[in-house]
């Protein structure tokens, strides 16, 4: 990908980076490990983005 991106695309990429986090430990603890992983978590190699 180019190092010089359009600002709108950069914002969308940044939002996807922020969304791609694991479930916090306190959530797992509070729900007795019912939520171990995030259903929308994405791997950079496997899942491609539609920007």
In order along the chain (51 residues), what is the average pLDDT of each group of 10 residues? 89 95 92 88 93 83
Looking at residue 36, its pLDDT comes to 87
pLDDT at 35: 83
Give residue 1's pLDDT.
65
For residues 8, 14, 20, 25, the Cα torsion angle rounded to the nearest 10 degrees is -140
- Whether 40 contacts 19, CB under 8 Å: yes
């Amino acid at each position: 990908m180019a190092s010089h991106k359009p600002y709108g695309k950069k914002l969308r990429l940044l939002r996807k980076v922020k969304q791609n986090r694991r479930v916090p430990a306190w959530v797992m603890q509070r729900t007795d490990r019912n939520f171990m992983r995030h259903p929308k978590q994405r791997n950079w190699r496997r899942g491609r983005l539609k920007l």
